[in-house]
Amino acid sequence: MSSLTVTDLTKSFTTTPVLTGLDLHVPSGSLTALLGPSGCGKTTLLRLIAGFDDPDAGTVALGDRVVAGAGRSVPARRRGIGFVPQEGGLFPHLSVAANISFGLPRRQRRDGGRVRELLGLVGLGPELADRPPHQLSGGQQQRVALARALAPEPSLVLLDEPFSSLDAALREETRLAVAEALRASGATAVLVTHDQAEALSMADQVAVLRGGRLVQLTDPRTLYRHPRDLDVATFVGEAVILDADIRDGRAACALGSLALERSCPAGPARVLLRPEQLRLSAPTETGPVARVRSVDFYGHDSRVWLDLPSGVTVSARLEGTDVPVVGDAVTITVRGAVLPFPSDPAGPQHSREGTAPAGTFLDEDVSTEPARVS
């Protein structure tokens, strides 16, 4: 397996720029998730790496071998890249074994050992080898597609939203199986996804794209806890974002005086915290008292929407079933520190005050009146 290095990659379609000077490095044997909203350039980047399209400028290198740019363009079939599309793309007239061995030399196609090895690697039994694809579940088909991509031992495996067509339970099961197979094979992989949980749970590093540019590249834990800006924060998880005034190293906001996770200049700021940092208890004389607006029950946890006296609505994530009911008055305490972002008085705010749902890049020109973002 080889590392992947993308340098100053640029691509436009007619007059519309899609990628602008993008740099990306994927270490050998690691999995990188490309995360971003629709139209940010994720799929275009994957196609340029695969060789399905050519960049306008910049280079793509697998290890020390330049495969695109710098006056050369290696055809897709000669790049040694495995590709897993959204729907699996299996040949319907071929058996599972024939699909997996399709790209192998004739000798290896005749020897069923490699097929059995790959079926085991992706968590499928050898009894499926002679079945046609239509007799498999969607998750099994995606695992066969991965086995086919891994069969010729490619330098790199590309996965283009491979779980998007699966239902929730099957998606989770297939995702775990694919991640385990990639680790076991030592593959270098790039996964395109719009699913934040998928990216955070599977990847060694996550590349967040916005408007054709790489906004942040880091490990999942750092991305969630230390996003580069508020737009990234709201995209990689549900976020509570509040106006604040930084005084004496603390943030004075609608939830009280809160500790800062990092230093910040005194004055107006925005602070970020996650809903799971909020704790609720019976009303007391200390701490802000809020009114429960609604409760979303998910089984393993619940999301509680809370109206603060200031007019701001925030959400708390609570474990289990012991949650307040609509109309209850509760005291909110904050566990841990908050992440501050200095306000720019000369420009628009990056985000509305309140709770922003995961997967939302907020418009920088929206009103800053306190409101629940929906």
Structural domain spans, the chain? 4-222, 238-356
Question: Can 4-222 and 238-356 be said to share one CATH topology?
Answer: no
pLDDT value, residue 370: 31
Q: Which helix (H) or strand (E) segment is 110 a member of?
A: helix 106-110
Q: What are phi and psi of 148, to 5 degrees?
A: -65, -40
Cβ distance 145 to 138 under 8 Å?
no
Amino acid at 216: Q
pLDDT value, residue 348: 39
What is the DSSP secondary structure assignment for residue 338, as one 8-state letter?
A: B
The number of angstroms, rounded, from the C-alpha of 359 to the middle of its chain's C-alpha atoms is: 9
pLDDT value, residue 366: 30
Tell me the whole-structure pTM to 2 decimals: 0.85
pLDDT value, residue 191: 95
Cβ distance 219 to 229 under 8 Å?
no
Which two three-digit tokens encode residue 129? Answer: 């080898």
- DSSP secondary structure letters along 24-92: EEE-TT-EEEEE--TTSSHHHHHHHHHTSS--SEEEEEETTEEEEETTEE--GGGS-EEEE-TT----T
Work out the number of other CB atoms within 10 angstroms of the CB of residue 344.
11
**Is domain 4-222 classified as CATH 3.40.50.300?**
yes
pLDDT along the chain (374 residues), means of 10: 93 92 96 92 94 94 91 89 86 92 78 84 90 92 90 91 83 87 91 91 95 95 95 92 94 95 94 95 82 91 93 91 89 95 59 70 37 29
Rounded CA gap, 231 and 149, in Å?
Answer: 35
Cβ distance 46 to 4 under 8 Å?
no
Fold of 238-356: OB fold (Dihydrolipoamide Acetyltransferase, E2P) (2.40.50)
pLDDT value, residue 108: 74
pLDDT value, residue 322: 76
